[in-house]
Amino acid sequence: MSPAQTAVVTGGAHGLGEAIVRRLHADGYRVAIADLDGTSAGALAEDLDGSAATARGYAVDVADRDALEGLLSGVLADFGEVHVLVNNAARTQAAPLLEITPDELDAVMKVNFHGTFHACQVFGAHLAAQGYGRIVNMASLAGQNGGTATGGHYASSKGAILSATKVFARELAPRGVTVNAVSPGPQDSPVVRSIVGEERLAEFARGIPVGRLGDPAFIAKMVALLASPDAASVTGACWDANGGLHLR
């Protein structure tokens, strides 16, 4: 890939987002690591490239559209261009369905769905104007089957992301921008371990047809493939990696 492209990853400082950042950087991308935890985003960037030439951290609340506008401006000022957006930022919360409060629903939807939708608008307009771009939205098995270990508000937000992916894919396809989703099932990650509980993890994994949790590094490879220039014929798609929990 020459010259190097620039990728923006929201929620990129921890967990799956960090795995995606590390994969894209290893593949030769310059990476803009956007996260509510700006300190950790900066630390990851420093770990990847102490000179800040190929990795920079940005403190961003994706629930704030103005902050997303500022992120685009900042990345353009620092790197000169943007080619890829990975909407990974998410708020994960487990709660009994009938006990989810209006405030809890709003908080999850603002980050997960509103943040993804607004980022697709903000970055999608810029990518369309330049005639090229790749957007990858992180969906979830929960958005396809209603969820198993997560709350109904989380599952609903991820289902909305799947629909938004199709809407933006159809709108932006004629202008050289593809929009796709990756839908992981339960991953071997700190978030899943905290929700399921270490004492129940082995039993939980046995309930997955392949008998194991997913590997975040493999999800990152899926994202990198969809982000590549070679993925020009794939748009509006949702790539599943759920261990057989949802077949379609």
Ordered domains of the chain (ranges, CATH): 6-185+215-240 (3.40.50.720)
Which residues have CB under 8 Å from 77's CB, separation 6+?
none
Separation CA 79–CA 121 (nearest Å): 20
Strand partners, 58: 34
Per residue in 24-74, pLDDT (tens digit) is: 999 999 999 999 999 999 999 999 999 999 999 999 999 999 999 999 999
Cα 234 off chain centre by: 17
Give the single-character DSSP code of 5: P
Separation CA 153–CA 58 (nearest Å): 27
**CA distances to 94, 111, 163, 234 from 167, in Å:** 28, 19, 6, 14
% of the chain beyond a pLDDT of 90: 87
Please give the positions annotated as active site. Answer: 154
Strand partners, 86: 9, 136
Per residue in 94-118, pLDDT (tens digit) is: 899 999 999 999 999 999 999 999 9
Residue 216: pLDDT over 60: yes
